[in-house]
Amino acid sequence: MKMMMDQELLNEGDEAPVLFNYYGVSMKPTFQAGDGLTVLPYGTREARPGDVIVFRSPEIGRNVVHRIVRVDSKGITTRGDNSMIDDSLILSPENIIGRVVSAKRARKNLRVQGGGAGVLVAGILRLRKKIGIRISKALHPFYHRLSGSGILHGWLSRFIKMRLLYFKKPQGTEIQIMMGKWIIGRYIPQRDSWQIRRPFRIFIDISALPKGKAIDAHNS
């Protein structure tokens, strides 16, 4: 696959960059699913805290994109930008495929900060997450009461059309609630229960959604 890349990111002697597609949530909001990541092998360079790297995890047997948080005598410790704890796996340089230097999203090429700038970015993201968690905990009782009251049930559907999509799986029929291109709810057949993303739970009456026999009737 041909790659376009900011020439300022390449120095003489650097190895050829590699392109990876990112999937998952562990690096949100730095990356989004579908981002095209340009990765440069380290070569003679040293890995630094703050670098975003792609490494081959021997634990799960696949490539992982996380940020380096520490380099010491034990090895290289990483963490996802969307996580509050370090990865348990300690890496060696042989595990690392390279550092992420840019991400292509739609028509935009986004530079990925590493080193000291990357440490700063990661610190800001962790602070934002901590604040978000505290706000969420403070608002949880109010949110729980509001969603249980039913005052706003059906209000959102007056303005935005929502659809139910059925998917047959070995474990049973999974249902997804779609609002435009977004999945805002999911029925898990193994648990026979619905999971609704916040804040949409306050707008949806779960008791009115299909479960069990109603789903069987729909499929028959």
What residues does each domain of the chain span?
Answer: 7-122, 156-219
- ∠ CA 165-144-136, rounded to 5°: 95
Tokens of 7: 């020439």
Return the pLDDT at 24. Answer: 85
The mean-pLDDT minimum among 15-29, 62-76, 138-152 falls in 138-152
Mean pLDDT of 89-101: 94
> HEC profile for 88-99?
CCCECHHHEEEE
Q: Does pLDDT of 41 surpass 70?
A: yes
Return the pLDDT at 75. Answer: 95
CATH class label, 7-122: mainly beta
Instruction: Please state, rounded to an integer, the average pLDDT across all residues of the chain.
Output: 84
Interatomic CA distance for residues 2 and 91, integer angstroms: 30
Is it true that the peptide bond before 29 is cis, omega within 30 degrees of 0? yes
pLDDT band at 29 (very low <50, low <70, confident <90, very high): very high
The answer to whether 99 touches 115, Cβ cutoff 8 Å, is: no
pLDDT band at 16 (very low <50, low <70, confident <90, very high): confident
Q: What is the pTM of this model?
A: 0.63
Interatomic CA distance for residues 22 and 89, integer angstroms: 20
pLDDT band at 123 (very low <50, low <70, confident <90, very high): very high
Residue with tokens 């602070």: 127
Interatomic CA distance for residues 160 and 164, integer angstroms: 13
pLDDT in tens, 135-179: 778 877 876 787 777 787 877 777 778 888 888 877 788 898 888
